[in-house]
Amino acid sequence: MENPLNAIDQERHLAALRWGFRLFLGIEIIPFIVLFTLRYELVAWYVAPTVNQWLGAADAFVMLISMGVCVSALGAIRQDDLVKTQHRLKATVGLGLVYMALLIYEWSQRSIPVGTRFGENFYSSLGVSAFYTLAGLFVLVAVAVRSGRARLNAQNYWDIQAVTWYWVFQGFAAIACYLLFYWI
């Protein structure tokens, strides 16, 4: 029989991990706030007429779908369905790779001159978003692989919860980039 004190200690440990991860995500938002503020300080409400809004919309749409798939992976592990969780994590990785491919294609087009104030901020912000996405993809792959080895289940799924929080954070940041650089 399990000692109740150990369960209490384990719950406190998880609560501390969750609080610390929320703090980490709060800190990770600072570069976006700085870049978005800088964008309006330098170029106000200007949107480059050469920006490819369809490509930006495709980026945002793919990220939105990947967020939903990742959240559904968390729901699957809460229902103790490890196989479905692994499939959804792998699908999230695939969608994340599509997002990165679209972003790289957009950079390669150079539709906005890099030397302009808008261009500098545009490419810097998308670069930060791409870096965070790449980090999220590495973690998603690691969690998908680890989920089978560590035998994650409905009582032990912190890894999946953390990567879901991170991916949703990154998804909202990518959608904010789309709104701020393509429409507002």
Over residues 173-179, the mean pLDDT reads 90
Cα distances (angstroms) measured from residue 91 to each of 18, 26, 64, 131, 139:
25, 27, 13, 20, 14
Provide the Cα torsion 159, 160, 161, 165; round to 10°: 100
Cα distances (angstroms) measured from residue 173 to each of 21, 52, 94, 157:
17, 19, 19, 25
The CATH number, out of the four listed (1.20.1250.20, 1.20.120.80, 1.10.760.10, 3.30.70.270), of the domain defined by the range 4-182: 1.20.120.80
Taking the C-alpha atoms of residue 96 and residue 61, their distance in angstroms, rounded to an integer, is 11
pLDDT at residue 108 in the model:
87
Task: Give which of 130, 126, 122 is closest to 51, Cα–Cα.
Answer: 122
Which segment of 27-41, 73-87, 91-105 scores lowest on mean pLDDT? 27-41
Domain ranges within the chain, ordered by starting residue:
4-182
Cβ–Cβ under 8 Å, residues 28 and 153: no
The angle at the Cα of 84, spanning 83 to 88, to the nearest 5 degrees, equals 120
Over residues 31-49, the mean pLDDT reads 77
pLDDT at residue 68 in the model:
97
Higher per-residue confidence, 98 vs 47:
98
Q: Examine the pLDDT at 95 and tell me if it is beyond 60.
A: yes
pLDDT, tens only, 73-92: 999 999 999 999 999 999 99
pLDDT at residue 5 in the model:
54
**Portion of the chain with pLDDT greater than 70, in percent:** 97
pLDDT, tens only, 121-174: 888 888 888 999 999 999 999 999 888 787 787 888 888 999 999 999 999 999
pLDDT at residue 139 in the model:
94
Taking the C-alpha atoms of residue 129 and residue 136, their distance in angstroms, rounded to an integer, is 10
Over residues 102-120, the mean pLDDT reads 86
Residue at token pair 């369809």: 54
Q: What DSSP letter does each residue of 77-103 carry, written as one string?
A: HHTT-HHHHHHHHHHHHHHHHHHHHHH
3-state helix, strand, coil in the chain (%, to 5): 80, 0, 15
Q: What is the mean pLDDT of the chain?
A: 87
